[in-house]
Structure 1
Amino acid sequence: MPGLRACARLLRLFAVLGLGTGMASCIAMGERLGLSTPFERRQRWSRWFMQRLVAALPFEVSVHGALPQRPMLWVSNHVSWTDIPLLGMLAPLSFLSKAEVRQWPLAGWLAEKAGTLFIRRGGGDGQRLREQISAQLAEQRPLLIFPEGTTTDGRSLRTFHGRLLAGAIDQGIGVQPVAISYLRDGQSDPIAPFIGDDDLVSHLLRLFAQPRGQVRIELLPALASAGKERAVLALQAQQAIHQALFGAEQLAPRPRSHAKAA
């Protein structure tokens, strides 16, 4: 039975990916013909596609909180590749992603056509990254980043990198914290996390062979960025998400030396 369930779900997923490929192909063809697609339209199409992709994933999703009414820098904890469609279905968004995703078959190409910004981890090009994020926000284009810089198993939260929030301060753009959690049988889901040396195909097969899990997405109160140091803003966002996920006490401020390096 699990094998049949996985096959049926994968067939539905491939149908949705085929739809996305058709959309991205239209964009690529238009580019070759000199007909550019407005960025805002790409974001809307991307959201539409993400909604169909989420419908093909084995999750029951609940969303809590209000969507922001103006463009913001969205920040979220990061557990799985499925975070992207789950959050991307909420609003027209672009994403900041690791450069390796660009090399994923089909998914990387689709992400590029949707306006994803790709970064090299440890690339030592922080200023260029700051300028890219700042330019995106200056155009009033909502952008979502994962400031931990990597995925976790969903039972902890890593330090948020303040350098990734500097663009919001440059533009005076608010920050929208988002907490995403995966549950299975009332406990933290051990299957949804995409961590370590896991590969996408193996993860898909495991995920789709299991009964549906639960995902809770919580849109938290927005944070003002004007006049704040990036380390302070990052810590505020991290604290808000930490409390939403774990209901624990406030995190201790980072030492001054770490704040400068963030």
Structure 2
Amino acid sequence: MRRLRVYGRIARVLLVVALGLSMASIFGLLERLGVANSMVRRQRWSRFFMARLSNALPFRVTVHGELPRQPMLWVSNHVSWTDIPLLGMLTPLSFLSKAEVRTWPVAGWLAAKAGSLFIRRGAGDSQLIRKQMTRHLQEQHPLLLFPEGTTTDGRGLRTFHGRLLASAIDAEVSLQPVAIRYLRDGQIDTLAPFIGDDDLLSHLMRLFANDQGRVEIHVLKPIACQGQERAALAFQAQQAVQKALFGDVVQPAEPRRNGELVAA
């Protein structure tokens, strides 16, 4: 019976993926015909797809906070690939993703057709992607990135990198921090994280072989970017997410010079 439940859940996900492929194929056909596809339309259809994919996943989702009405640069902690549909269902937006995702079968094509921006780590194209992000935001298209740069096990946060947050300053938009937490039986969910050498099929089998988990999404207070530096923005966003998830505030490192504490 449990095996049948697992296969049934996977079949539902595959049906949703087939829907996404059909939608992406339509966008691809329109591109070949020279018909313009606005980013607004792409983001709306992406949200439609993400909502149905989220419904097919074994999670009960609770959203806290108020969704912004203005386009912003969203920043979130990163636990699993499931963060993307769960956050993408909230509002029409695009994602900043690592360049390798573009080469993934099915997922990469879907991400590209949905309007994702891609960045190559260590390739020296940070200025180019910063300009692309700035233009994206200036054109009133919300964008989400994961400033930790990788996934975690959900028990803590990595440092939020501020390099790409400069696009929010350039575009004169606010920063929208978001905290996502996976719970199972009242504890941090150990099944949801997608880290290390995990593969998608094994991860799905793990999730679907168990009962539903809980997901809490906290849409936090926006952070004004005007007159701020990107490192300060990253620190403020990390503090906000840390407090929402764990009730703790990241303490600023004490300034040092040549190993000696510097008096304030």
Give TM class, smaller chain: over 0.9
Residue 255 of structure 1: how far off its partner (Å): 5.3
Give SS of 1:81's match. coil
Query: What CA distance in whole angstroms lies between the structure 1 residues aligned with 2:63 and 2:130?
Result: 30
Flag structure 2 segments of 5+ consecutive residues without an equivalent: 258-264
- TM-score w.r.t. the length of structure 1 is 0.95
Query: Structure 1 residues 116, 256: CA separation in 2 closer, same or farther (over 3 Å shift)?
Result: farther
Residue 123 of structure 1: how far off its partner (Å): 2.0
Kindly provide the CA deviation profile for residues 55-113 of structure 1, in whole angstroms up to 9, marking residues without a partner as x: 00000000000000100000000000000000000000000011121122111101100
Aligned residue in 1 for 2:136: 136
Give SS of 2:225's match. coil
Query: What CA distance in whole angstroms lies between the structure 1 residues aligned with 2:203 and 2:255?
Result: 38
Name the amino acid aligned to 2:200: L
Residue 251 of structure 1: how far off its partner (Å): 2.5
Aligned residue in 1 for 2:191: 191
Aligned residue in 1 for 2:145: 145
Query: Structure 1 residues 254, 133: CA separation in 2 closer, same or farther (over 3 Å shift)?
Result: farther
Query: What CA distance in whole angstroms lies between the structure 2 residues aligned with 1:256 and 1:144?
Result: 33
Query: Structure 1 residues 248, 75: CA separation in 2 closer, same or farther (over 3 Å shift)?
Result: same
Kindly provide the CA deviation profile for residues 192-235 of structure 1, in whole angstroms up to 9, marking residues without a partner as x: 00001111111111111111100000000000001101000110
Aligned residue in 1 for 2:172: 172
Query: Structure 1 residues 225, 256: CA separation in 2 closer, same or farther (over 3 Å shift)?
Result: farther
Query: Structure 1 residues 34, 187: CA separation in 2 closer, same or farther (over 3 Å shift)?
Result: same
Aligned residue in 2 for 1:27: 27
Flag structure 1 segments of 5+ consecutive residues without an equivalent: 258-262
Aligned residue in 2 for 1:105: 105
Name the amino acid aligned to 1:219: V
Contact 2:73 2:174 in 1 (8 A): yes
Contact 1:235 1:253 in 2 (8 A): no
Query: What CA distance in whole angstroms lies between the structure 2 residues aligned with 1:207 and 1:120?
Result: 30
Aligned residue in 2 for 1:260: none
Residue 124 of structure 1: how far off its partner (Å): 2.4
Name the amino acid aligned to 1:20: G
Contact 1:177 1:222 in 2 (8 A): yes
Query: What CA distance in whole angstroms lies between the structure 2 residues aligned with 1:62 and 1:168?
Result: 28
Query: Structure 1 residues 256, 236: CA separation in 2 closer, same or farther (over 3 Å shift)?
Result: farther
Name the amino acid aligned to 1:242: Q
Q: If you compute each CA radius of gyration, which structure gives the higher value, 1 or 2?
A: 2
The answer to whether residue 63 in structure 2 is matched with residue 50 in structure 1 is no
Give SS of 1:144's match. strand
- TM-score w.r.t. the length of structure 2 is 0.94
